A and B are shown apart, each in its own frame.
Chain A
Amino acid sequence: MNDSYIYVIVALLPLAAVMLTVQVNPYNALVIRGILGGVAALVYAVLGAADVALTEALVGTMLTTTLYAVAVRSSLVMQIGVLKDELGETDDRSPFFQLIADLQTIGSKYHLRLELLPYPNPQSLHRALIEKEVHVTCIERSHEDEHDSAEIESGRQPYHTAVRIHRLYDILQTELASPATTLTYVTATDSGEKH
């Protein structure tokens, strides 16, 4: 058992662990977690614990990676409610697509995935925001019924973005430089549930 290669193999385990802890992107961290599982299985097998190595390989690399992948994919998402008509537009130059592209750039900085959910009319869109079906709504000003008329006449900010999550609002307020939209924070009715 006192072979010199054992020490070198065991030294690989903290190396992989340090690599895992310095990862920022959650998906990259998942891949490194798989590498850590493989190295750990090797260490356990070399040290003579075959059953532990088998469990580490099956649970550590397969089950936890899959479960974490599902968890990361479903939690790191920004759901944006939009009107169905605007999704139908195909012009890439339109201010709506510019706005979505800006949001995508900001989201990719924080490893957020954007999900566009179409709604038939502004009323259902507003209700979806209040009932916490979406995190953000993007709506064209002409579709809204209550707002001050001065801003419409200026016409410089044709879109109105409402956010119901305070952290998201903070991020968007500092990062969103798009001239196409105004940003407001909306308090949803039931504040007991946290996202």
Chain B
Amino acid sequence: MNLILIAMILALLIPIYEAWQDENIWQKMLAFASIASKTSVMILVVSVLRGDWMIGVVGVIILSVGNAGLMLLAHVIKRMNEA
């Protein structure tokens, strides 16, 4: 099962590289969204591997409400580009 997690870490490196290299702010936001989803899914996988329900609940909460910050930031950046 460790192999699954290693593969997920490698998949996580792709949007991190994208966020580092691409200067376009919306590409960075896309990479941010990708990383936010991937990390919370990884938390869920770890919780299932260990059978730890406390981590599982935290993973579900991060997955469901963590993207609200992304929405707010996207709105501010959109307003900035319009002005």
A38 touches B35 (CB 8 A): yes
Q: A5-B6, A73-B80 are in contact. Are A34 and B72 (CB under 8 A)?
A: no
The distance in angstroms between the C-alpha atoms of A48 and B69, with both chains bound, is: 24
Q: A15-B16, A41-B43, A42-B43 are in contact. Are A31 and B5 (CB under 8 A)?
A: no
The bracket for how many chain A residues form the interface is 35 or more
What are some 14 contacts across the A-B interface (CB < 8 A)? A19-B20, A25-B25, A27-B25, A27-B80, A31-B19, A31-B31, A32-B28, A34-B36, A38-B32, A41-B39, A46-B46, A54-B61, A57-B65, A113-B80
Which residue on B lies nearest to A63, using beta carbons?
B69
The distance in angstroms between the C-alpha atoms of A69 and B32, with both chains bound, is: 15
The distance in angstroms between the C-alpha atoms of A27 and B59, with both chains bound, is: 27
Which residue on B lies nearest to A19, using beta carbons?
B20
A150 within 8 A of B: no
The bracket for how many chain B residues form the interface is 35 or more
Q: Tell me the B residues contacting A by CB distance below 8 Å.
A: 2, 5-6, 9, 12, 16, 19-20, 23, 25, 28-29, 31-32, 35-36, 39-40, 42-43, 46-47, 52, 54-55, 57-59, 61-62, 65-66, 68-70, 72-73, 76-77, 79-80, 83
A12 touches B16 (CB 8 A): yes
Which residue on A lies nearest to B22, using beta carbons?
A28
Contact partner of B36 among A3, A28, A61, CB < 8 A? A61
Which residue on A lies nearest to B65, using beta carbons?
A58
Task: Please indicate the chain B residues that have their CB under 8 angstroms from the CB of A30 in the complex.
Answer: 73
Q: A4-B2, A41-B43 are in contact. Are A35 and B35 (CB under 8 A)?
A: yes
B69 touches A61 (CB 8 A): yes
Q: A32-B28, A42-B42, A66-B69 are in contact. Are A73 and B36 (CB under 8 A)?
A: no
Question: Which residues of A from 15 to 65 have beta carbons under 8 Å from B?
Answer: 15-16, 19, 25, 27-28, 30-32, 34-35, 38-39, 41-42, 45-46, 48, 50-51, 53-54, 57-58, 61-63, 65
The distance in angstroms between the C-alpha atoms of A48 and B54, with both chains bound, is: 9
B72 touches A66 (CB 8 A): yes
